[in-house]
Structure 1
Amino acid sequence: MTRIAVLEFLIHLLIFFLGAGIGSFLNVVIYRLPLGISVNNPKRSFCPQCKKQIPWFQNLPLISWLSLRGKCAACKSPIPFRYFFVELLTGCIFYAIFIKFRGSWDYRLDWGDMVILYWIFAALLIAGTFIDIDHYILPHEITFGGLAVGLIGSWIEPQLMGEFIRSRGLVASLAGACIGATLIWVIIQLGKMAFGRIKRKFQSPEAWTISQPKEDEPPLFEIAKESFTWHDIFFRPSDRLVMTCTELKVNETSYGPCQLELRENAMKIRPESGAEVQHTTLEDIKKLEGQATQVLIPREAMGYGDIYLLAMIGSFLGWQAVLFTVVAASVLGSIIGVVPRLFGKTEWSSKIPFGPYLAGGAMIWLFYGPQLVEWYMNRLVVREILDV
């Protein structure tokens, strides 16, 4: 093996472990950012269970998880496999981006800007995906921060948009972001019209409760063996949870048949007796429960975080990628929705928000999108020719 071959092998190995190291940092972001914990303080990673800081020699990407057999060295509590998976996934994606976009190997860094920008893009998508899966949110630090990087990056490296002039690269990036945001906004509005509420009627009154098991978590609404978090119910200021109650108990006060209307921070009670409607806030309510014969629950197929995510994707990949990403995300969602049903595990797919599918569609475009579009268009042309 020549020196050049050895050097290239070491470079490839370095790129993979660089990605794995970034994946280790992304695990910190995924855990801390939704909880409001600074990613810099404490600077060293710590065990979520015993809170003991992890020394550097036990925090090596991939190697430490394997050597510790997925357990904390201090308290022996399990370390989720996701930590290892994120490091492995990031390493593989970083390496794949390096291979695809570095160009011919000539020891120059003229490919460096493209690769680095796509590395940043991939890291943002990975962090956003796992945060969205865990918490059903897409933090602005990721979406807005990524949008800014995409716009600036398209000016620094206009080839990101397939352009050679910086101003045209920036305009194309801005157009991609605007088209992405507008497209998802339209889809969300159509989704509200078609699937904007869940209506349940019960033959006999069903018990329901609203409680907050943990102070740092949103309240939980439970009825007829179904449960919904406050974030599941209230997306917009206009959202209302409406129940026809046979009984209602607010703290120590009991009501007879009435209609209960709940907003995110307020409540209305309309007794059937025709008494005056009572208004109250939810701040002083410790106990809220009752029996209901009908419930109307607002819901959202997608959150507004998806608007910002697709805008970010458009700023990095352009408007064509936005259209492809939405279609690919829908296909991915359909596949992942159907496969678990075949094994009787419908709850697996129902717990995945749309953000990860958008991220998956964007990564498919990054590596294979134009080729897939060309293949599909060629098949359409062939089919038209055969039909003629």
Structure 2
Amino acid sequence: MCIGSFMNVCIYRLPLEKSIADPPRSVCPSCGHMIKYYDNIPVFSYLWLKGRCRHCNAPISLRYPLVEALAGLAAVSVFFAFGLTLEGLIYFIFTAVLLVITFIDIDHKIIPNVISIPGIPLGLLASFALPQVTLKDSALGLLAGGGSLLIVAWTYHLLTRKEGMGGGDIKLLAMIGTIVGWKGVLFTIFTSSAVGSLVGLTVMLAKGKNIKFAVPFGPFLAIGAVTYIFFGQSLIYWYFHLLR
């Protein structure tokens, strides 16, 4: 959850192109007052202060304890699935990065290149420590992930003369591909499209059929990738067994 607290810093500062190291300690976004260490304990400080700044009494977004709790849940899930292994560490870092990207994309409709682009070579390097993903699988995942969405974006632009799929999504799926391989990319695309369509239809029914809105696709790609890591093989086996 402490790592989740740092993730909140990244979510807030990276889209604003602010340093994640300076200032080194968190400040209240309303009054700018430096937050003391005892008011910065993940989740518990939020509950103790009843979701408000100690100095200006301004409300603190529920987003902060939510991200911290999700980071803690991710750590526990990885521990039970992979144990205290290098593989588990890689998957936890990967999940944490996807959480940061998810909330940035929700807020700003962007996926910072400073995360996705360095993540591609790091993902290729990580393949040497992942038992189920070889360097070849990682490279094919990179090509399948980035290439598939690039084709979709190019085709959509050719037919409509409008921008559809963002470049950030293309680089994100390329990064995801280096960790999950080409099979994981196919699973991620299928799952993210299904969940995204379901959410989109739900919003349209709730707000009216004629409403036009842009849904960030990054969070759904993240959902698909994380689902594959924890449940992918079981779900694929269940799906093909169901078709028999």
Residue 193 of structure 1 deviates from its aligned partner by 2.9
Show structure 2 runs of 5+ residues with no match. Answer: none
Residues 158, 170 of structure 1: 8 Å contact kept: no
Conserved 8 A contact 1:121-1:146: no
Identity of aligned residues (%): 40
Partner of 1:331: 194
CA distance 1:53–1:349, shift in 2 (3 Å) = farther
* TM-score in terms of structure 2 length: 0.94
How many angstroms apart in 1 are the aligned matches of 2:12 and 2:214?
18
Letter in 1 for 2:6: F
- Runs of 5+ consecutive residues of structure 1 not aligned to the other structure: 1-19, 103-110, 162-168, 198-299, 382-388
Aligned length: 244
Give deviations 1:241-267, integer Å, cap 9, x for gaps.
Answer: xxxxxxxxxxxxxxxxxxxxxxxxxxx
Q: Distance in 1 between matches of 2:186 and 2:43?
A: 36
1:373 aligns with 2:243: no
What SS does structure 1 have at the residue aligned with 2:91? helix
* Deviation string, structure 1 residues 125-169 (Cα, Å, up to 9, x no partner): 0001111111111111211222222111112x14141xxxxxxx2
**Deviation by residue 1:197-255 (Cα, 9 ceiling, x = unmatched):** 4xxxxxxxxxxxxxxxxxxxxxxxxxxxxxxxxxxxxxxxxxxxxxxxxxxxxxxxxxx
Change (3 A) 1:70 1:367: same
Listed one character per residue, the Cα deviations across residues 340-372 of structure 1 (whole Å, up to 9, x for unaligned) are 334337899935311111111111111111211
Higher helix share: 2
Question: What residue in structure 2 maps to residue 359 of structure 1?
Answer: 222
- Structure 1 residue matching 2:136: 3-state secondary structure: helix
Match of 2:9 in 1: 28
Corresponding residue number in structure 2 for 1:159: 131
Residues 170 and 71 (structure 1 numbering): CA distance in 2 closer, same or farther, change over 3 Å?
same
Which whole-Å CA distance do the structure 2 matches of 1:44 and 1:345 have between them?
44
Please tell me the residue identity of whatever aligns with 1:142.
I
Matched, 1:344 2:243: no
How far residue 196 of structure 1 moved from its aligned partner, in angstroms, is: 3.6
| Matched residue SS, 1:359 | helix
Query: Kindly tell me: are residues 325 and 170 of structure 1, through their superposed partners in 2, closer, same or farther at Cα, counting changes over 3 Å?
Result: same
CA shift for structure 1 position 379: 1.8
Is 2:120 the counterpart of 1:147?
yes
- C-alpha separation between the residues in 2 aligned to 1:51 and 1:67? 20
C-alpha RMSD over aligned residues: 1.9
Contact residue 141 and residue 185 of structure 2 kept, 8 A: yes
Runs of at least 4 residues of structure 1 off by over 4 A? 345-349
What is the aligned partner in structure 1 of residue 154 from structure 2? 189
Shift in alpha-carbon separation, 1:72–1:348, aligned structure 2, 3 A:
farther
Larger radius of gyration: 1
CA contact (8 A) 2:87 2:130 kept: no
Query: Which residue in 2 is equivalent to 1:171?
Result: 136
Residues 305/174 of structure 1: CA separation in 2 closer, same or farther (3 Å cut): same
The superposition leaves residues 23-61 of structure 1 with CA deviations (integer Å, 9 ceiling, x where unpaired) of: 111000000011111111000001111111101110000
